[in-house]
Amino acid sequence: MIFDIDIHLRRGDRDIACRIRSDSGIIALFGSSGVGKTSTLNMIAGLLRPDHGHIAIGGQRLFDSHAGIDIAAARRRCGYVFQEPRLFPHMRVRANLRYGRPRGQPDGGVHGLSQEALIELLGIEALLDRWPASLSGGEAQRVAIGRALLSTPRLLLLDEPISSLDLARRTEILALIARLHALTGIAVVYVSHDRAELDYLAGDVIALS
Ligand SMILES: Nc1ncnc2c1ncn2[C@@H]1O[C@H](COP(=O)(O)OP(=O)(O)OP(=O)(O)O)[C@@H](O)[C@H]1O
């Protein structure tokens, strides 16, 4: 079982509950605004603590309220890509990418894919010396995905990463995510409020309500 998740959290006046049992390496969380998609990603990442339940990814328990397990966020090895790219504005693209790399792995790639191959796949070679402010939304988001992957995460979490892009850029990035998963085998959780977008991603779609 790649994803074995059953979590509950009361936030404000809303009960957030999410159950996922899936052998697919890519899952998509789908649901209307306020249903708890970002909260669920944050619970997986260890940034928010569920009231009760468990989270296991690839057989590793990250959280289990009964067993008293709560692995610290930094040790969960999640690469997180947000709705806005959140690149460091004072660092060129090259330095932003380098920031994600773990210490002691100066030229490390990700899951068998070299750093050069990843940069080529993302189509960002020509952007390496640019400042984030000069990038288009799609370019910046590709750099953000690269930075997240270069941290060699066990799991890639994407929170509506393409909602601000036009349709052509959206399908391009979705195809890229599917290809990165196929090449590296990295597990992916993808959040969206747009059901149509998920037709471009293979994998299980979990509707939150
Ligand atoms: N800090 C907080 N305190 C109390 N309630 C919160 C807090 N943060 C979020 N909530 C509530 O928790 C619920 C889930 O929020 P969340 O951001 O996870 O939803 P979402 O599905 O990701 O929404 P969207 O698609 O609009 O980003 C919402 O009802 C929200 O108002």
For residue 188, the domain's CATH number is 3.40.50.300
DSSP class per residue in 149-166 = HTT--SEEEEESTTTTS-
Asked if residue 132 lies in contact with residue 89, where contact means CB atoms within 8 angstroms, the answer is yes
155 lies in some domain: yes
Report which ligand 1 atom has the smallest distance to the Cα of 31.
Answer: 21
What is the structure's pLDDT at 107? Answer: 61
Tell me which of 46-55, 100-109, 118-127, 146-155 is least confident.
100-109
What is the structure's pLDDT at 95? Answer: 94
Mean per-residue pLDDT of the chain:
89
Instruction: Name the pTM for this structure.
Output: 0.91
Ligand 1: residue whose CA is nearest its atom 25? 33
Tens-place pLDDT, residues 115-142: 888 899 899 999 999 999 999 988 999 9
118 lies in some domain: yes
Report which ligand 1 atom has the smallest distance to the Cα of 208.
Answer: 21
Q: How many domains does the chain have?
A: 1
Cβ of 33 below 6 Å from ligand 1: yes
123 lies in some domain: yes
> For residues 127 and 97, what is the distance between their CA atoms, to the nearest angstrom?
11
Domain containing 37 equals 24-48+72-203
Ligand 1: residue whose CA is nearest its atom 10? 11
60 lies in some domain: no
Q: How far is CA 78 from CA 57, 137, 185, 198, in A?
A: 11, 23, 14, 21
Beta bridge partners of 8: 17, 52
Cβ of 10 below 6 Å from ligand 1: no
Report which ligand 1 atom has the smallest distance to the Cα of 193.
Answer: 25
84 lies in some domain: yes
151 lies in some domain: yes
What is the structure's pLDDT at 143? Answer: 94
* Interface predicted TM-score of the whole assembly (ipTM), two decimals: 0.92
